Amino acid sequence: MKNKTVVIIGHSDIAGLNENDVSAQLELLINQGYSCFLCGGMGQFDMLCARCLFLLKKKYSEVKCFLIIPYLTASINNSNYFDEIIYPDGFEKYHYKSAIIQRNRYMVDKSSLAFCFVCYNFGGAVKIYSYAKKQGLLIVNMGTMK
């Protein structure tokens, strides 16, 4: 399943990003055979992608979008966008802040492609983007690095 799985990585701020462009790019990935999407659900890019995938599932029934939560007390917005909410086994051992980093790595490790909106060289998004590159994932970045 890893070869058909996409991790979503992006900044909280998505100023200048067009929903139609995101949806079109996700549809291209679906047409290339990607059907499983892993989302952290914490930033605007995550939620934009989840919404786009929710709408695309009307046309592509094979598409699944999973919300991966770092801790059981995670706030979940728009849960109807997700096919399943997953709390990975063993995550109870992580401290609150490190659980997010571990969750992000978990998603990358389960994926073969990273669909990103990364344009800043600081913050959590660029750190997991760099990790995805080091792990050899294919990268589709809707952002331009500044």
Please tell me the distance from the alpha carbon of residue 22 to that of residue 85, in angstroms, as a whole number: 23
Q: What are phi and psi of 121, to 5 degrees?
A: -95, 30
Pick the CATH number of 2-12+20-90+97-123 from 2.60.40, 1.10.155, 2.60.120, 3.40.50: 3.40.50
pTM: 0.94
Res. 146: pLDDT tops 70: no
113-144 pLDDT, tens per residue?
A: 999 999 988 888 999 999 999 999 999 999 87
The torsion angles phi and psi of 135, rounded to 5 degrees, stand at -80, -5
Sequence spans of domains, the chain: 2-12+20-90+97-123
Of 85, 111, 116, whose CA–CA distance to 1 is shortest? 111
CB 34: neighbour CB atoms within 10 A? 21
pLDDT in tens, 32-88: 999 999 999 988 999 999 999 999 999 999 999 999 999 988 888 889 999 999 999
